[in-house]
């Protein structure tokens, strides 16, 4: 169903799902492009229902049921697939493929959120002009409603930034196009159009919302600039945060937010958005729920834990760190009963391609190559897999994206740990809202798995009943 080749095919014509589609489209709008793709996807879904509904694609074991449903093939998520060996692909394109194909900001080199969003929503690589037009649309829609500004400003500075972000996103549903149209009575065939409208508005407003939270918590009284209509989404986000003059940090944020935007549907935040969205909650409510899942220590807070651990190591072993000193610190961490943060992944069994992309970014910047914390990340990568293999209790001894992401932010001066997951939240919206749109376009049903008690599971296991 999905392309598995590692090489980028011709950008003008790539086969997906048994069809051939032009990757470089004309100057059609995003909505027009999605409207063109929907009948093809609907036909494909109908074929699956008609011809393969009773086909088995895996067995459910007791370990799956009591182990967090890990590994179960039980969810439709069309924009990306995560392979244990090769990592994430977006409509068949690897991260290096996307870096070659997707438009960057004027004067920049890295993927921008708009081009990734277009790819996720349509399965097509946008032209530079389509990307610029989407940037202009997002900037035009990026100002927060006054009631949301007042709400965020009223929250205590001590309230976690992720809690504030979830509250702000939920409050945006006051102006939901989907909710208003549903209350008036609309056709099911129109669900996706109002969901798309809400989704674009949500993505557009996230930078202003996230920056306002940053200002209130960490730099109270600092004025917020207006949104610049000539900048892309992340360019404006960096500017609103007060880092608009730092082009290297802005480029890093562009890369981070783009490649972090979707990571299949089984992760907690994406799955939460899908589940809540299946009740026909609007995108604001659906994504606010996803943000509260993202706020958990086992999900979006991981990059904070990595940075704390790396800084503790740096403090103990010093800046002139050796491989032997890192090895000793790794064993100290493991023998204390802790895990090595930033290593291992629920699905991957090789180094995370997102980590590799961030490492390559670091290697292209002389100031990062000379940074003690970035050098520590690199040297830890050279030592940690061997130690973890010797330890023998880690299925994947390789780094995930969190092993590097927070450390780069820290180097560039964005040192407020608790805020890092908010940046993750701005990013992950790209994939979550994509699937909300497509769930409505394809008419996906309410998600409702079957549950069993411990006793019932044991009886089924003993009897061998299906």
402 is catalytic: yes
Q: What is the crossing angle of helices 233-241 and 128-140, to 10°?
A: 40
- Residue 170: φ, ψ to 5°: -60, -40
299 is catalytic: yes
34: closest CA among 188, 191, 254, 183?
191
Catalytic residue among 97, 198, 262, 402: 402
Tell me how crowded residue 297 is: count the other CB atoms within 10 A of its CB.
Answer: 10
The tokens of 154 are what? 């009223």
Q: Give the C-alpha separation, 294 to 54, whole Å.
A: 34
Tell me how crowded residue 346 is: count the other CB atoms within 10 A of its CB.
Answer: 16
Catalytic residue among 44, 160, 299, 391: 299
Task: Fill in the DSSP letter of residue 447.
Answer: P
CB distance 204 to 142 below 8 Å? yes
Residue with the two structure tokens 């990062």: 368
345 is catalytic: yes
- Residue 15: φ, ψ to 5°: -85, 125
Q: Give the C-alpha separation, 149 to 151, whole Å.
A: 5
DSSP string for residues in 325-369:
HHHHHHHHHHHTT---TTB--SS-SS--HHHHHHHHHHHT-HHHH
Q: What is the crossing angle of helices 420-441 and 191-218, to 10°?
A: 170
The tokens of 385 are what? 């897999």
Q: Which residues are catalytic?
A: 299, 345, 402
């Amino acid at each position: 169903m999905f392309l598995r080749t590692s090489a980028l095919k011709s950008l003008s014509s790539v086969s997906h799902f048994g069809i051939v589609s032009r990757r470089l489209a004309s100057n059609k709008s995003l909505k027009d492009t999605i409207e063109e793709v929907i009948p093809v996807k609907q036909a494909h879904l109908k074929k699956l229902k008609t011809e393969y509904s009773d086909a088995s694609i895996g067995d459910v074991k007791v370990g799956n049921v009591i182990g967090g449903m890990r590994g179960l093939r039980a969810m439709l998520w069309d924009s990306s697939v995560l392979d244990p060996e090769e990592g994430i692909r977006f409509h068949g394109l690897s991260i290096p493929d996307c870096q070659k194909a997707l438009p960057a900001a004027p004067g920049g080199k890295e993927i921008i959120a708009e081009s990734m969003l277009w790819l996720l929503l349509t399965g097509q690589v946008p032209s530079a002009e389509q990307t610029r037009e989407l940037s202009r649309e997002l900037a035009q829609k990026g100002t927060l409603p006054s009631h949301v500004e007042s709400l965020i400003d009223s929250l205590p500075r001590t309230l976690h930034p992720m809690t504030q972000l979830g509250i702000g996103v939920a409050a945006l549903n006051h102006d939901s196009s989907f909710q208003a149209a549903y209350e008036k009575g609309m056709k099911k065939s129109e669900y996706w159009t109002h969901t798309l409208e809400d989704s674009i508005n949500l993505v557009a407003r996230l930078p202003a919302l996230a920056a306002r939270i940053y200002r209130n918590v960490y730099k109270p009284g600092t004025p917020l600039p207006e949104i610049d209509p000539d900048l892309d989404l992340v360019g404006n986000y960096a500017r609103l945060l007060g880092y608009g003059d730092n082009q290297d940090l802005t480029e890093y944020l562009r890369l981070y937010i783009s490649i972090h935007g979707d990571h299949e549907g089984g992760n907690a935040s994406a799955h939460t958005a899908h589940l809540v969205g299946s009740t026909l909650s609007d995108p604001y409510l659906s994504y606010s729920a996803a943000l509260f899942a993202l706020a958990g220590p086992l999900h979006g807070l991981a990059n904070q834990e990595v940075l704390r651990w790396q800084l503790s190591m740096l403090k103990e072993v010093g800046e002139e760190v050796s491989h032997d000193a890192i090895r000793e610190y790794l064993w100290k961490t493991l023998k204390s009963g802790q895990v090595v943060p930033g290593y291992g992944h629920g699905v991957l069994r090789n180094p995370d391609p997102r980590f590799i992309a961030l490492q390559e970014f670091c290697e292209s910047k002389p100031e990062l190559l000379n940074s003690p914390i970035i050098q520590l990340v690199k040297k830890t990568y050279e030592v940690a897999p061997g130690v973890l293999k010797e330890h023998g209790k880690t299925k994947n001894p390789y780094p995930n994206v969190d092993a590097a992401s927070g450390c780069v932010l820290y180097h560039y001066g964005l040192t407020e740990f608790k805020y890092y997951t908010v940046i993750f939240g701005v990013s992950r919206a790209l994939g979550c809202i994509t699937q909300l749109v497509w769930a409505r376009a394809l008419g996906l049903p309410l998600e409702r798995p079957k549950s069993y008690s411990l006793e019932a599971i044991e009886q089924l296991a003993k009897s061998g009943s299906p």
